[in-house]
Amino acid sequence: MTETQAKWFLIALGLYLALGLLFAVPFLLKGAAKIDGDAVEGSWGFKLLILPGTVALWPLLLSRWLRFDAAPVERSPHRDAAGEGR
């Protein structure tokens, strides 16, 4: 990377993470409980622990929140063959 490239990379990364931090506030207060029932009574320690991941992966969580998805059950050949998830 040249210095100019490094500079732009850092600016982009900074912006992305700043948006993530903004997103994390409402998400940890409300959104997490919306997409995952187990988070309804999540402790503050829990919220603190998932903060870094929220800041880093916020677009994924945002799309889940917007779709009001419940936590999905993993697919497997057996579940598919039994006609689940269709």
Partner 1 sequence: MGHAYRAVGWNRQKKIYDRTLGLGLIAYLVLFVVVGLLRWPEHSEETLALRALGTGALLLLHVILSIGPLARLDHRWLPLLYNRRHLGVLMFCLALVHGVFATVYYHSLTDGNPVVDPLISVLSANQRSDSLAHFPFEIFGVVALAILFLMAATSHDFWLANLTAPVWKALHMLVYVAYASVVLHVALGTLQGETSPVLSGLVGVGVVWVLGLHLVVGWRERGLDRPTTGSPSAEGYLDVAAVDELKDGQAKIVTLSGDRVAVFRNGDEVSVVSNACQHQNGPLGEGRIIDGLIVCPWHGYQYQPRCGRSPEPFTEKIPTFRAQVRAGRVWVHPTPLPAGTDVEPARIGAEA
* Residue 65: half-sphere exposure toward Cβ, Cα within 13 Å: 18
Cα(75)–Cα(72) distance, integer angstroms: 9
12 contacts partner 1 (rule: CB under 8 A) = no
In the bound state with partner 1, the residue whose beta carbon lies nearer, of 7 and 30, is: 7
Residues 36-75 that bind partner 1 (CB under 8 A): 36, 38-43, 45-46, 48-50, 52-53, 56-57, 60-61, 64, 71-75
- Check: CB of residue 61 under 8 Å from CB of residue 54: yes
Interface positions with partner 1 (CB under 8 A): 1-3, 5-7, 9-10, 32, 35-36, 38-43, 45-46, 48-50, 52-53, 56-57, 60-61, 64, 71-79, 81-84
